[in-house]
Amino acid sequence: MYAQNTATGVPAGTTYAPQSYQPFRQNQGAWSSGLCDCFSDCSGCCLTFWCPCITFGRISEIVDRGSSSCGVNGALYFIIQWLTGCPCCYSCFYRTKMRHQFNLEESPCGDCLLHCFCETCALCQEYRELKSRGFDVILGWQGNVDKENRGVTMQAPTAPVVQGGMQR
């Protein structure tokens, strides 16, 4: 009698976009910039030099796909730096996670070794990599998802058309 449609929870006539954001992939296997190309993004370089906890927080929020916040991870980075002077023991794991997500090579050496001896350069490279892959790092994960979903249009609901009006 009635056609059975699958209930999705999305109103009829709308386009549904899932809450995930996959920016375009480029240069599989290779980083978009070299480890020592810090000055190719002067603002990112200065931010990382003066406030590495902010750079790390922004990177980690995107690498974690929004499951952790920039503020929390940045604060943890700062506390580890303040207590031990060695935040690389925390930040190197995010480089590894990022490499696996984007299928990047582990170069020029291991992630922990790289962060231990070149922390600022490593963070700058990761920041540039996310930017080159289409992320607006300042917006964070949810901001990038919202920005991507803004391109999806939703059809406004319309009132049904009455044929011929009311008659008695």
Instruction: Say if 130 falls within a structural domain.
Output: yes
Residue 53 burial (10 A CB sphere; 0-12, 13-18, 19+): buried
Q: Domain tally for the chain?
A: 1
Range of the domain at 119: 38-141
Q: Say if 83 falls within a structural domain.
A: yes
Q: Would you call the peptide bond into 108 cis, given omega within 30 degrees of 0 as the criterion?
A: yes
Q: Note the pLDDT tens digit of each residue in 60-84.
A: 999 999 999 999 999 999 999 999 9
Q: Is residue 146 part of a domain?
A: no
**Residue 51: inside a domain, yes or no?**
yes
What pLDDT, on a 0 to 100 scale, did the predictor assign at position 39? 86
How far apart are the C-alpha atoms of 36 and 121, rounded to whole Å? 6
10 within domain boundaries: no
User: Is the pTM value of this prediction over 0.75?
Assistant: no
| Within-domain flag for 88 | yes
Does residue 78 fall inside a structural domain?
A: yes
